[in-house]
Structure 1
Amino acid sequence: MPGKKFDAIKPQTARVVSHTEPKRILIANAKGGCGKTTLATNTAAYFASQGAKVVLIDHDPQGSSAQWLDARSQNLPSIYSVAAYRKDDNHTTRSFQLMVPIDTTHIIIDTPAGVSGNVLSDHLRHCDLILMPVVPSVIDIRAATGFIKDVLLSPGFRIKPKPIAVIANRVKRNTLGYNKLEAFLNSLNIPFITTIRDTQQYVRAAEFGMGIFDFSQPNEKDREEWQPLINWLNIQLNNSKNN
């Protein structure tokens, strides 16, 4: 696997010894099974394909993002791994375990299900953007409603609000669930960026530690679905760089 791994357990921000701070993109939703890892790994793969120096931090005890990186070929654009869910040992400091390369430009943070309270606040305090994947079923929308409220009321967010965007996973447009999700987000002025299908392309990519942007002949429909998110990310990151 390209890059060096760093093990850690607490949801603190990674330490970077650099004059330019990397941009941190938080992937979060308290509900499990909404596609956080798929979104995190493919976002990391996109920025790596553009020549960015990317670190993927995995806080989920399942370690799915870290396992994805374990399967990644050295012939693909390098993505560094911080397995933040693992227990530390007595021979290294917490600061060292969370250290990332000094040339890091983007940090993608994959959070576990059920993240809340001080842990959520800490994540929010140390990120620049928040991406929230949602499966637009009635149960998931209810869970998303509560989580968004937790985010907006969290001290880590209220001290310095960050742009939030929602991505719908595994859904067809113009269904009842889709329309309810869209109406809910519009009521909060939170952008509903795009809808990502549940296809075998993602399954095949995940098996080999790849994102859809790593394929030599990517599926055009998948790229079309990702383009609005890519555009939003680039606009927000450019805005934060100018502030």
Structure 2
Amino acid sequence: MTETETPPTSSPGVRVVTRVMPVRIMIANAKGGCGKTTMATNLASYFTRHGEVTALIDYDPQGSSMDWLQARDENLPVINGVAAFQRLAPTTSTKTWSMRVPVSTSRVVIDTPAGLSGNELSDLIQSSDVIIIPVIPSAIDIRAATGFIRDVLLSRAYRISPKPIAVVANRVRKNTLIYAKLERFLKSLQIPFVAAFRDTQFYVRASEHGLGLVDFEQTDAKDMKEWNALIGWVNQHIKALKNNVN
């Protein structure tokens, strides 16, 4: 969010505050182990490295994104974390994170739990502007992704207000039959297949220290090319959202 002050016409001393909602990017897939936290933490790193006031919202009871933040060096660009899975009551709204981040927040990255479905899925879709669905190359994950994408498209929140959706392939080895099957599946969908991330231990090592790809002085050109594809798609839709608001 951002704050602006508007001079009053008749009441000197009255401060008028206008709040602008941040762009909210949700990383989601009902299947566990598909790399949601890797996507979320690297996106948060990218945004804050490029000057955006960024919040990382963790709905996963495992708290992996919050663990990543705790390991992050205090000299790195600040990312504000909210452990949204720690709800005070079962009826707590999914939107309460907005009361727990700085009003200047311009980017919110939402890490979601496995098993996401029903009303909780619909509520998080309603609270998001962009949805990214990571899928890994396995027959089980392809079947699970098919069902989850169907649930997203049929959810009440999405039918009322459709959001940009993209799928990304995660932990891939491109010269394999199962990746070829995954690629054919993703390209057959009616939503964009925007990036494929290779299987590398870099992400494991980076996560142990609260780092993202952009936090390293030197990174592999292949990794940056893969991430630039996703970042380009996200920024395209952020620009479109801003244009719609204006």
Aligning the two structures, in what range does the TM-score lie when normalised by the shorter sequence?
0.7 to 0.9
Shift of 1:210: 0.7
What residue in structure 2 maps to residue 19 of structure 1? 19
Report Cα offsets for 1:160-195 as digits up to 9, x if no partner: 111111111111225332233333333332111111
Please state whether the residue corresponding to 1:29 is helix, strand or coil: coil
Q: Percent identity?
A: 58
Structure 2: which amino acid aligns with 1:66? M
Please state whether the residue corresponding to 1:109 is helix, strand or coil: strand
What residue in structure 2 maps to residue 9 of structure 1? none
TM-score with structure 2 length normalisation? 0.86
What residue in structure 1 maps to residue 161 of structure 2? 160
Q: What does 1:47-86 align with in structure 2 at a 5 Å threshold? A: 47-86=47-86
Quote the Cα distance in structure 2 between the aligned partners of 1:181 and 1:200.
21
Quote the Cα distance in structure 1 between the aligned partners of 2:97 and 2:124.
19
Which protein has greater RCO, CA pairs closer than 8 Å, 6+ apart? Answer: 1
What residue in structure 2 maps to residue 182 of structure 1? 183
Quote the Cα distance in structure 2 between the aligned partners of 1:210 and 1:149.
33
Q: Over the residues paired in the alignment, what is the CA RMSD in angstroms? A: 2.0
Structure 2: which amino acid aligns with 1:71? A
TM-score with structure 1 length normalisation? 0.87
The ranges of structure 1 where at least 4 consecutive aligned residues each deviate by more than 4 angstroms after the TM superposition are 93-98
Please state whether the residue corresponding to 1:42 is helix, strand or coil: helix
What residue in structure 1 maps to residue 35 of structure 2? 35
Quote the Cα distance in structure 1 between the aligned partners of 2:99 and 2:132.
22
Distance 1:95 1:161, change over 3 A: closer
Shift of 1:48: 0.7
Structure 1: which amino acid aligns with 2:69? L
Preserved contact between residue 59 and residue 85 of structure 1 (Cα < 8 Å) = yes
Aligned residue pairs total 225
Report Cα offsets for 1:22-56 as digits up to 9, x if no partner: 00000000000000000000010001110100000
Please state whether the residue corresponding to 1:170 is helix, strand or coil: strand
Q: Unaligned stretches of 5+ in structure 1?
A: 1-16
Moved more, 93-102 or 197-206: 93-102
What residue in structure 1 maps to residue 241 of structure 2? 240
Quote the Cα distance in structure 2 between the aligned partners of 1:191 and 1:130.
11
Quote the Cα distance in structure 2 between the aligned partners of 1:96 and 1:109.
10
Please state whether the residue corresponding to 1:84 is helix, strand or coil: coil
Quote the Cα distance in structure 1 between the aligned partners of 2:175 and 2:79.
36
- Please say if 1:216 is aligned against 2:217: yes
Quote the Cα distance in structure 1 between the aligned partners of 2:236 and 2:70.
31
Higher CA-based Rg:
2
Quote the Cα distance in structure 1 between the aligned partners of 2:97 and 2:154.
32
Structure 2: which amino acid aligns with 1:130? I
Distance 1:118 1:87, change over 3 A: closer
Q: Unaligned stretches of 5+ in structure 2?
A: 1-16
